[in-house]
């Protein structure tokens, strides 16, 4: 009988510890490569023509490159650069947030040239560019271009 008394608290503790752990995004891009890519994007942000070696992805290419994967979207033009986490699921649902602890559920869709993020209080249309290795997303708001360096990430339980 005394063995059963200890099973319930033990099971509750294990359940609580499991619920309290988080999945921490793990960076895959080196700081040096990120800094080089950031300088490159910032120096080309007003150009009307894509730099040599870069091209815009079609909607189908965006689907193949991004759906079912997780990304960090590094804002690079703000006074305080932020890193958004995007978990893009295959069923039209995604999770978007600023940190490792809170993400809001959103929906996404793809048209011929872009991916749309439809989140509470945020609706973004992103165009995605690549040089074959790197992904950079651009959105236009009030006539201004905003860029995010996209880095595919994995999650590690912490």
Residue 129 has pLDDT above 90, yes or no: yes
Name the band, by pLDDT with cuts 50, 70 and 90, for residue 112. very high
- When the pLDDT of each residue in the chain is averaged and rounded to a whole number, the result is 83
Which residue did the predictor score with more confidence, 131 or 27? Answer: 131
Residue 83 has pLDDT above 60, yes or no: yes
- Mapping DSSP to helix (H, G, I), strand (E, B) and coil, where does residue 138 land? strand
- Name the CATH code of domain 25-157 (choices 2.40.128, 1.20.120, 2.60.40, 1.10.287): 2.40.128
Rounded distance, CA 65 to CA 57, Å? 9
The predicted-structure confidence for 5-25, as pLDDT tens digits, reads as follows 545 454 444 444 444 445 566
pLDDT score of 107: 96
Structure-token match 């600023």, residue found: 98
For a pLDDT cut of 90, what percent of the chain falls above it?
56
Q: What is the mean pLDDT of residues 143-158?
A: 84
Among 61, 63, 86, CA closest to 75: 86
Which residue did the predictor score with more confidence, 10 or 93? Answer: 93
Name the band, by pLDDT with cuts 50, 70 and 90, for residue 116. very high
Q: What is the mean pLDDT of residues 84-100?
A: 88
Residue 55 has pLDDT above 90, yes or no: yes
Q: Which stretch of 40-54, 78-92, 112-126 has the lowest confidence by average pLDDT?
A: 78-92
Say if residue 150 is exposed, middle or buried (CB neighbours under 10 Å; 0-12, 13-18, 19+): buried
Rounded distance, CA 2 to CA 37, Å? 62
pLDDT score of 151: 93
pLDDT score of 88: 94
Say if residue 100 is exposed, middle or buried (CB neighbours under 10 Å; 0-12, 13-18, 19+): middle
């Amino acid at each position: 009988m005394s063995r059963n008394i200890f099973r319930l608290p033990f099971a509750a503790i294990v359940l609580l510890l499991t619920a309290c752990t988080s999945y921490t995004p793990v960076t895959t891009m080196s700081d040096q490569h990120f800094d080089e890519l950031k300088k490159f994007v910032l120096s080309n942000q007003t150009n009307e023509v894509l730099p040599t070696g870069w091209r815009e992805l079609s909607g189908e290419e965006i689907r193949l490159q991004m759906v079912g994967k997780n990304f960090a979207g590094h804002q690079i033009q703000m006074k305080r650069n932020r890193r958004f986490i995007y978990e893009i699921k295959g069923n039209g649902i995604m999770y978007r947030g600023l940190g490792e602890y809170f993400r809001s559920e959103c929906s996404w869709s793809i048209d011929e040239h872009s991916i749309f993020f439809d989140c509470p209080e945020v609706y973004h249309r992103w165009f995605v560019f690549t040089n074959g290795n790197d992904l950079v997303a651009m959105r236009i708001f009030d006539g201004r271009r905003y860029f995010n360096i996209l880095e595919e990430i994995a999650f590690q339980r912490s």
